[in-house]
Amino acid sequence: MSDQETTILGEFLPYEEKIGESGNFIFVDAKEYIDAHKKTLDNYEKFWEELALELYWFRKPQKVLESVEKPYIYKWFSDGLINVSYLALDRNVKSGRKNKIAYIWEGEPVDKDGNPKEIKKLTYYELWREVNKASYILKSKFGLKKGDKIGIYLPMIPELPIFMLAAARLGIIFTVVFAGFTAENLATRLNDIKATLLITADGFYRRGKIIRLKDIADKALELSPSVKNVLVVRRIGLENLNMVEGRDYFFDELSKGVSPGVYVEPEKLESNETLYVLYTSGTTGKPKGIMHDHGGYSVLLHATMKWVFDIKDEDIHFCTADIGWVTGHSYIVFGPLIEGATSIMYEGAPDYPQPDRIWSIVERYGATILYTSPTLVRMLMKLGEDWVKKRDRSTLRIIHSVGEPINPSAWRWLYEVVGEKRCPVGSTWWMTETGGIMISHTPGFKLVHLKPGTNALPLPGVDVDVVDEKGNSMEPGKKGFLVIRRPWPGMPSWPDGIWGDYQRYVQVYWDKIKGLFFTGDWAIRDQDGYIWVLGRADEVLKVAGHRIGTYELESTLVSHKAVAEAAVVGYPDEVKGEVPVAFVSLKSGFSSSAELAEELKGWIRREFGPIAVPSQIFFVSRLPKTRSGKIMRRLLRALLEDKPLGDMTTLEDEAAVEEIKEAYERISKEIKRS
Ligand code: WT7
């Protein structure tokens, strides 16, 4: 992201007049913010306690932060009893929002005039009833109860939040698997959590095509012995589904027998009880199941909805993410509902049938808050301003992005073209592990001056720092590791942080820089205290804002009959930020060809998912490795970017200089040929 680096330490934007019109923001300079922030850290537990008490508890917590016998596992509000499904639904139904719209859902298909064919508006009362019905079915038909585990593999349809909330209501632990993932990815996750029920759909629409989701789920089920039952939502009404007698049931058929007034008592859960597990993958090993709880997580979402989105009853919140990723969990499902907000949920592709789909949605429902991603912005930017300008965006008052660093030109486009310089535009930094936003502009707290591309300042009560490998704070302007110094509500939760693997939790997040939460990101703090997250310090890929583990991708390649070994590295891409490029060595008996490269791309598409298809596949005779067998990915990246070997030798400490040079030259020749 080269244009970013040039604006670091750059000028503030003179914006206040127009931005002032779009909201009642409190403007402060960075110094004032930093002072206010310091105060929140001084009384840090008290500070979070007050926020926690703004929520409804079946039993109010007396304790705030508690260590347990396992280092780095913390309990937040441990003696409190709570249920996020109750906060999201019952509280709103009881407090005057009964007939307020909770979700505006728009399906992808359009009529001949380009207007959406399906729009559903669900009030809080309707959503509450649907969730009660779904809970009832989980409980009485499948006998599920607190502590049981289920998988949810659904597209962006209302049943997705409905089942998340229905499971939460009963204290059932769920894992949502992104509907764009393949059977293998689904099976890995179902097996890790040992789900006994899978909830899926017959299919869904994506860019005008029908994706037969149940067929994919069927393949996963062959590999997932723990799953005893399958509940199928009929989104499309597809024929020829393989419904296994006694195992598979249609949701609508089971619903028929349920009385519309059915009520399922929400479980009064201890704050630290697990709400969900969401998998995220890295450079080694299987994906990590990050755990989040009911209490701490709800408190963080409540706080961030207020500070970052300045959420008000009259807002229409539009987050363009998919609920299959953490952004959707936190800011389409739980965050907005806890606050009693109205939010928009869109099923399909952002450029279908035309590149103005997102802006038409903003116009149609008068969205006031837009939460999107740099990748989406860069994609739409390329298609021209006219698509934006022909739609009314005058209702928008706050815009944020998430997922990867936003380059200043994409930032400017959001600020100038989309928001017409009326809206603060931010780049909220967080990750699956943090549960909610950690660093951001905070229009609902105190708003500091914008700078294009920055993440701005840490949120109140959040102690982040940029440090060297020993944990010492870096001077302003110097690049270091982004860490979190103190526990926060919403952090990976008790009892293990990572589902079934406490040791790994400690090793990945707390042992790298002893005692500090290691995010894996590079960052710079500038002279005004603003934080600029630069990207991953590890070899995790960020494709279109999604974290793609090189390990999973390489394993998929190696599972192809022709492949002996594979290494995947990220290559800069104008739209997606980064795209995977693969280096492959073949088994004897196979030889490289353009056809084989295409076949391998198709293999990844089918076996891993379309988001991770490599832009290029290079065939090499051997992969460059250190003596301990670690693939020298940095060397591969330098080759791709046509950078000289340079200080590569210092980076790969285990390999001899000669070996590295030899590998560099050999592969350089080989990739020129292929
Ligand atoms: C990684 C986490 C949190 C929801 C989406 C991604 C990168 C995220 C930003 C931002 C710079 C960002 C980091 C982080 N990242 N937001 N605003 N600026 N980088 O969740 O898949 O868990 O990925 O995304 O590298 O570590 P995730």
pLDDT digit string, tens, across residues 159-182? 999 999 999 999 999 999 999 888
Cα-to-centroid distance, 339 and ligand 1 (Å): 24
Select the more confidently predicted residue: 90 or 639.
90
222 vs 587: which has the higher pLDDT? 222
281 CB near ligand 1 (under 6 Å): no
Looking from the CA of residue 535, the nearest atom of ligand 1 is 25
Q: Is the peptide bond before 495 cis (omega within 30 degrees of 0)?
A: yes
DSSP state letters, 342-411: EEEEE-S-TTSSSTTHHHHHHHHHT--EEEE-HHHHHHHHHT-THHHHTS--TT--EEEE-SSPPPHHHH
Q: How far is the CA of 421 from the centre of ligand 1 (A)?
A: 25
Mean pLDDT over 231-241 rounds to 97
Residue with CA closest to ligand 1 atom 21: 547
> Does 324 score more than 70 pLDDT?
yes
Using a 6 Å cutoff on CB, does residue 156 contact ligand 1?
no
Q: How far apart are CA 324 and CA 280, in angstroms?
A: 11
**HSE-CB of 515 using CA atoms within 13 angstroms:** 3
Q: Give the model's pLDDT for residue 654.
A: 43
Q: Looking at the DSSP assignment, which residues form a beta bridge with residue 631?
A: 625
Least confident of 16-25, 46-55, 82-91, 119-128: 16-25
Atom 7 in ligand 1: residue holding the nearest Cα:
404
Give the model's pLDDT for residue 11. Answer: 61
Strand pairing of 269-270 and 81-82? antiparallel
pLDDT band at 1 (very low <50, low <70, confident <90, very high): very low
pLDDT at 15: 56
Q: Answer yes or no: is the C-beta of 186 below 6 A from any ligand 1 atom.
A: no
Q: Quick one: which atom of ligand 1 is closest to the CA of 520? A: 26
Length of the chain: 674
CA neighbours closer than 13 Å in the CB half-sphere of residue 5: 7
Instruction: Give pLDDT, residue 646.
Output: 53
Q: How far apart are CA 160 and CA 142, in angstroms?
A: 18
pLDDT at residue 7 tops 60: no
Is the beta carbon of 402 within 6 A of some atom in ligand 1? yes
- Ranking 312-326, 598-612, 630-644 by mean pLDDT, the lowest is 630-644
Q: Average model confidence (pLDDT) for the chain?
A: 92
Residue 640 CB contacts under 8 Å (≥ 6 apart), including other chains: 569, 571, 581
Cis peptide before 374 (omega within 30 of 0): no
Answer whether 411 contacts ligand 1 (Cβ < 6 A). Answer: no
The finding on whether 490 has its CB within 6 A of some atom of ligand 1 is no
Residue among 152, 180, 109, 68 nearest 497 (CA): 68
What average pLDDT score do residues 388-404 get? 96
Average pLDDT of the segment spanning 388-410: 94
Phi/psi of residue 105, nearest 5 degrees: -110, 135
CA–CA gap between residue 390 and residue 381 (Å, rounded): 14
Q: What is the distance in A from the centroid of ligand 1 to the CA of 438? A: 11
- Helix, strand, coil shares of the chain, percent, nearest 5, are 35, 20, 45
Beta bridge partners of 466: 482
Question: 521 CB under 6 A from ligand 1?
Answer: yes
Q: How confident is the model at residue 645 (pLDDT cuts 50, 70, 90)?
A: low
pLDDT of 659 reads 60
Q: What's residue 5's pLDDT?
A: 41
Atom of ligand 1 nearest to the CA of 401: 17
As a whole number of angstroms, the distance between CA 144 and CA 166 comes to 11
Q: Is residue 399's pLDDT more than 50?
A: yes
Quick one: pLDDT at residue 667? Answer: 73
Instruction: Kindly give the number of the ligand 1 atom that is closest to the alpha carbon of 546.
Output: 21
Residues in a beta bridge with 498: 290
Give, rounded to a whole angstrom, the gap between the first and last alpha carbons of the chain.
28
pLDDT at residue number 649: 43
| pLDDT per position as a tens digit, 436-478 | 999 999 999 999 999 889 999 999 999 999 999 999 999 999 9
Residue with CA nearest ligand 1 atom 27: 431
| CA 115 / ligand 1 centre spacing (Å) | 34
The structure tokens listed for 525 are 């703090």
Confidence band, pLDDT 50/70/90 cuts, at residue 299:
very high
What does the pLDDT read at residue 2? 38
Question: At 612, which amino acid appears?
Answer: A
Residue 16: pLDDT over 70: no
Which of 107-116, 221-230, 275-284 is predicted least confidently? Answer: 275-284
Q: Could you give the angle at which helices 550-558 and 594-607 cross, rounded to 10 degrees?
A: 120
Query: Does the global pTM surpass 0.85?
Result: yes
Question: Is 178 touching ligand 1 by the criterion CB < 6 Å?
Answer: no
Q: Return the residue whose CA atom lies nearest to atom 6 of ligand 1.
A: 403
- 330 Cβ closer than 6 Å to some ligand 1 atom: no
The string over 205-240, giving b where at least 16 C-beta atoms fall within 10 Å of a residue's C-beta and e elsewhere, is bbeeeebbbbebbbebbeebeebebbbbbbbbebee
For residue 463, the CA-to-ligand 1 centroid distance in Å is 17
Determine if ligand 1 sits within 6 Å of the CB of residue 322: no
- Amino acid 637: pLDDT: 83
What pLDDT is recorded for position 650?
Answer: 40
Q: Dump pLDDT digits (tens) for 512-561.
A: 999 999 999 999 999 999 999 988 888 788 898 888 888 888 889 988 99
- Where helices occur in 23-123 by DSSP H, the ranges are 30-42, 44-52, 84-85, 91-94
276 Cβ closer than 6 Å to some ligand 1 atom: no
Residue 24 has pLDDT above 90, yes or no: no
